[in-house]
Amino acid sequence: MTRTPWGLAPLLTLAFGAAAAQAADVNVYTSREPDLVKPVFEAFTKTTGVKVNAVFLQNGLEERVKAEGQNSPADVIILVDAAKLAAAVDMGITQPVSSTVLDKNVPSQLRDPQGNWFATTLRSRVIYASKERVTQDAMTYEDLADPKWKGRICIRSAQHPYNVSLIAAAITRLGPEKAADWLTKLKSNLAKKPSGGDRDVAKDILAGVCDIGVGNTYYVGLLRNDPNPSQKAWGEAVKVLDSSFAGGGTHVNISGAAVAKFAPHKDEAIKLLEFMSSDQAQKLMADGNYEYPIRASVQDADTEKLFGPIKPDSLSLSEIAKNRKAASELVDKVGFDN
């Protein structure tokens, strides 16, 4: 389904005509919300003089690029989730990029080893806790299996991509057997059947259904600034714990970008990716959705002001993506969502 980004033309358009395919343009296919990428594209154009023509596709972006083949006008592909970026590589719709700027700005574990994609922001998956009933401020993901939390944890479906990624990271770090034991014990600690979304986890904590839960950081930021008093209360009821693997760091997923295989404006496409890794663009993207920048050099990001800095886990996202299928199968094996 393609959603028309009303109100953003001519920056965001639904088709690329001859006028759009000029040497000084770059054409972007993005699954990121238009309001989140528009400020970055505008800043890029102001800095470089290169115009950005973009189409927003909520679903089916990769399939569209694949179907267009060599006639595709796409120069840059922007996707959410490392697994989707890895799948785009497997579909043959990206090309490797050699850039000293990207190699310097994007940590090695946050990019494809062959240079097919690069992270643009971090989406940290953390542990929410009741401000009133939980005194600790830090917790490991392994601690979610501790019997002391029996009947006290809420979480959305483990088959949701956010949780599949976390479980895949557990498999990568702990190994299949220990990860299976961890997930089984986590299931026994649930207060209710997995359901809803990350916002509902905060809602259930406020209601006393559970004391802790798992969710992405940015939902708490969005809730606390929601004009709806009820949702604002959900966000104010929870605190974000310093969450990490034992001996490791915080599990993160990403939004990321790749140069399309048949990019008609490859040089401009690489320039856009390099700009998106700059401090200026990093702050714009992170602040737009309470995500974390990929670079520690970005100062005063709104997310850090709310939740403090994070130490992303050192696991390669490419390795985690390889374990996504095993993670999904493990969810079914232990009957986590039942």
Cite the annotated binding site for Fe cation by residue number.
218-219
- The residue among 240, 215, 216, 235 whose CA lies nearest residue 224 is 235
Task: Find how far residue 306's CA is from the centre of its chain.
Answer: 18
Residues 94 and 88 sit within 8 Å (Cβ to Cβ): yes
CA–CA gap between residue 278 and residue 272 (Å, rounded): 10
* Tokens 């009821």 belong to residue: 237
Using only C-alpha atoms, the chain has a radius of gyration, in whole angstroms, of: 20
Query: Which has the closest alpha carbon to 28: 89, 79, 78?
Result: 78
Q: Token match 């700009």: residue?
A: 275
- Residue 81's region, left for phi above 0, alpha for psi from -120 to 50, else beta, is left
- Give the C-alpha separation, 185 to 320, whole Å: 21
Q: Which of 84, 164, 74 shows the shortest CA–CA distance to 117? A: 84
Sequence ranges of the binding site: 218-219
CA 41, distance to chain mean position in Å, is 19
Residue 13 and residue 54 in contact, taking contact as beta carbons nearer than 8 Å:
yes
Report the alpha-carbon distance of residue 192 to residue 84 in Å, rounded.
30
Buried b (16+ CB within 10 A) or exposed e, 278-313: beebbbbbbbbbbbbbbbeebeebbbeebbeebebb
Residue 137: partners with Cβ closer than 8 Å, 6 or more residues away = 239, 241, 242
Instruction: Give the phi and the psi of residue 256 in degrees, each rounded to 5.
Output: -150, 170
